[in-house]
Structure formats: structure tokens, C-alpha cells
A and B are shown apart, each in its own frame.
Chain A
Amino acid sequence: MIYVKNLYKSYGKLEVLKGIDCHIREKEVVVVIGPSGSGKSTFLRCLNKLEEPTKGEITVDGIVLNSEANVNVIRREVGMVFQRFNLFPHMTALQNVVLAPEIVRKTKKAEAEKIGLELLAKVGLSDKAGEYPDRLSGGQQQRVAIARALAMKPKIMLFDETTSALDPEMVGEVLAVMKDLAREGMTMVVVTHEMGFAREVGDRVIFMDEGIIMEEGEPNQVFEHPKNPRTQAFLSKIL
């Protein structure tokens, strides 16, 4: 579903990604872990071209990301959820969810709202459809953001540290929604510090450090028997 070949990304002299190769299969849940500054968020943001790679090729759903037109097509199929929610503050929860289907997919308003309400129900926020984001808690905002991304009926979902900006008591409600999605067979790439989630939901864990993939494998194998000394050091600090 996603093929990444020899991906490099630099900001000026700073090399953030130094040659990433990776293949993400349909319905797979891939969890990317690693210390801050290891390039995991940059890697994720390259997958829908929010970052322009310096070098390398990315193919998503059979389409090579090499032109503006291609990128806009692919972004419809790839949902993204951000660390800081990025809800549109001038719109209600429901308006946030229906905007892109209406103007990008040209879905009729009534139809879009019906789907929007279903999605808000799915993330447990039926009663908040008319609220503006600043009336919602962090966890609620993030769940609206997930509903907003799902409204485009994406084939792939990218999660960029979606629980890192949340108060601890709200992490669970967001992870629960993500778990449901995984169970339904969504293809997901998840950058997270939630090791419990990685272990429970992930089909594969990728450990990144210093801009390369240091180790990857099934969660049990990576967490219980890490081969790379870097992985061992990282896990010993956080587990």
C-alpha cells in the first residue's frame, strides 16, 4: 500500500532522514517509536507530502508522489491526525467533519452531514456536533479530528503523536478510538510514545533513531528481545 524507497530529508545542513526504506501493507498497523528528534514525525509527514523529501521515492496506493496533482489525489485517501488536533476553530465539530467531503469530494450537504453525525457517534461525541472546538476538552477535540479525517473515507490513516498533547486522563479515550479503527482493518501508521498501544495493537513496530530505521519486527519480538543496542537502550529507559 505504501512503498518508501531511499527517503532522505534535510533542513539546510541538518539531515533528519538518512535513507528510509519501508513497505506498509494493506490493513497493517505499523507503530513507529523512537526518541525525540529521531525523525519519526518527519517520516510520517513525508508520507502525505506535508514535508517535501530531499531525495527518494514514495508510492501510495499505486500512485507515485511526484506532482502537486498526484499529491492532492493521495491526500484524499490518506487521513492524518495531528499532535495538536488542528481543528478549525471557526467551525463547529460537525462543520469540521463535513467541510472536506463537501468541497473536495463534492458530497451533497445532507449526505455529508448524515455521515458526519455517524462518525461523531462512532467517536462518542454525538452530543457535541454543534459545539465549537474551544468548548471541547483535548480528548474530545482529538476525537473530532479523527472523525474529520475519517469523513474523507481514507484508505490509510496517519497518526502523529496524537496523545502527546493530552492530559493523562484523556489518553485512553483517544487510544480506544484508534484501537477500534485498527480492529476494523484500517491501514494505519502510528507515531507514538504509548508502548502499551504499540504492543497491543501494532502488527509491526519500527524503531527509528538518528534518521534511520534501526530495527523493526513484531511487537513482541522488538519489545521482549530487541537486537539492536540502541533499541535496547531506548526501551530500557521508557519501559
Chain B
Amino acid sequence: MEMNWKAAIDSIPILNKAALLTLELTAGAIAIGVVIALFMALARLSKKRILRAVAITYIDFFRGTPLLVQIFLVYFLVPRLLNWDTLPENYQYFAGVLAMGLNSGAYIAEIFRAGIQSIDRGQSEAARSLGMSHSQSMRYVILPQAFKRVIPPLGNEFIALLKDSSLLSIIAIQELFYSGKIIAGRTFQPIPMYIAVALYYLLMTQLISQWVAYMERRLGKNDLR
């Protein structure tokens, strides 16, 4: 069959919308993931054994099982846990973002932990010697420094997350990959469509890279070492 780019060009408005949805899904997952990760990282470093155990179990589970399985698991488990008879409208978006957020929370927790542990012990000693509590020392001294250091690995994680959001097509979320697949099937032009989809993903991951580089420059200005 002849390769025809018209279908791909005609579908730009649809792909734009789908790409926007992909960005929204990723942003939602990042928001959930970062909050979970902060708690899990602090729990992982806690003196209390039970908190450490919770964090380790969480991280092992969500890193050690496929995201695809987690998406299905969340999709089917949540209505069961909440005793829903019928699924609310657009439930799949909620389940999809939640699953991705839970998953990224595990990875980002390890990034945060590494960041916190990379800060010299003298910093917390100085803070504690001034009478700050453990949480004050974390909040004002350790975390601001750690955050700066974790921006590059955090950028990696955000990019991975954006690409992995294509897995949400499996629960019929019409994000970028799903839309591309549908149009490819309808127009019998898979190659131009998937090239277009790939370019969209590339553009978006580039945006994240640029943002990360910008943040690094901005936050690095008082840190010349």
C-alpha cells in the first residue's frame, strides 16, 4: 500500500488534544508521585523500624511489578475496595493517574532518599546543634539542598513517566498513543501515524529536558562547587 501523509496531517488537531491529555495525565501522576515519595523517603530513613518496613515494602512492590499489571490492579481493585456498584463516568482517568502516581512514588522515593543521604552529615549536625528538631533540620536545611541535587534524576523519572503514560491506552484512555493507534487502524496508514506519534512524544520529552536544565541553572546559581 502507498504511504500517505495526508492522514497524519489531517489528524493533527486530534493528536494535539491527545498530547495535551498525555501531559495532564503525566502531571497528575507526578503530583501524586512526589507527595508519596516525600513521605516514603522520610519513612525509609526513619529511626522507627515499622516506618522503614512500610516504605521498603511499598517501594519493592511498585518497583518490582510491571506498571501494566499495576494499572489493571488499581483499575479493578479501587471500585471493589470502595464498594461501587457502577463505575463513575471517566473513572479510567482517575484509576490511570492513580496507578501511575503510585508507581512513580516508589521510584521518586528512592531518588529523594539518595538526595537526602548525599547531604553532608555536618549539615544536620550543625542544625541540630542549634537546637532545631529533626523535622526543622529536614525542612530548612536538608531538603532544600537535597532538592537541588535530585533535579537531574527527577528529570529522568518525569521523562520515563511521560512515555509510560502510553500504557494507559490499555484501559481505554484516549491519550496520544491510543489516538494514534485508532487513526492508524482507521486510515490504514500505520507508519506515518506512528512517526507522528513518536515526534509528539519526542517534542514533549524535550520540553521536560529543557525545563530540567532551566531549573538546574536557576537553582545552581548560589552553588558554585
Give chain A's interface residues, CB within 8 Å of chain B.
48, 50, 72-73, 75-76, 78-80, 82, 84, 86-90, 99-100, 103-105, 132, 134, 145, 148-149, 152
Contact = CB atoms under 8 A, between A and B. Distances in A.
B130 A75 contact: yes
| Interchain residue pairs A-B with the least CB separation, the first 8 | A76-B131, A100-B130, A86-B126, A86-B122, A80-B129, A75-B131, A104-B131, A132-B222
Interface residues of B, number: 22
Interface string B138-150: 0011001100100
Given A82-B122, A103-B136, A88 B141 contact: yes
A40 B126 CA distance: 18
B156 interface: no
Nearest to B131: A76
Given A89-B145, A90-B222, A134-B224, A100 B132 contact: yes
Nearest to A99: B140
27 contacts: A48-B129, A50-B129, A72-B131, A75-B131, A76-B130, A79-B129, A79-B130, A82-B126, A86-B120, A86-B122, A86-B123, A87-B126, A88-B126, A89-B222, A89-B223, A90-B144, A99-B140, A100-B127, A100-B132, A103-B132, A104-B130, A104-B131, A104-B136, A105-B131, A132-B222, A134-B222, A134-B225
Contacts of B128: 50, 75
B224 to A, nearest CB: 5
Contacts of B130: 75-76, 79, 99-100, 104, 148-149, 152
Interface of B: 120, 122-123, 125-133, 136, 140-141, 144-145, 148, 222-225
Contact of B132 (A48, A104, A134): A104
B148 A86 contact: no
A72 B131 CA distance: 5
B125 A50 contact: yes
Contacts of B120: 86
Contacts of B131: 72-73, 75-76, 100, 104-105, 152
Contacts of B122: 82, 84, 86
B63 to A, nearest CB: 30
Contacts of A73: 131
Nearest to B133: A72
A148 B145 CA distance: 19
A78 B130 CA distance: 8
A160 B223 CA distance: 26
A103 B133 CA distance: 10
Given A72-B133, A87-B126, A90-B144, 15 more contacts: A50-B128, A75-B130, A78-B129, A80-B129, A86-B123, A88-B126, A89-B145, A89-B222, A89-B223, A100-B130, A104-B131, A132-B222, A134-B223, A145-B126, A152-B131
Most chain A Cβ neighbours within 10 Å, of B123, B129, B132: B129
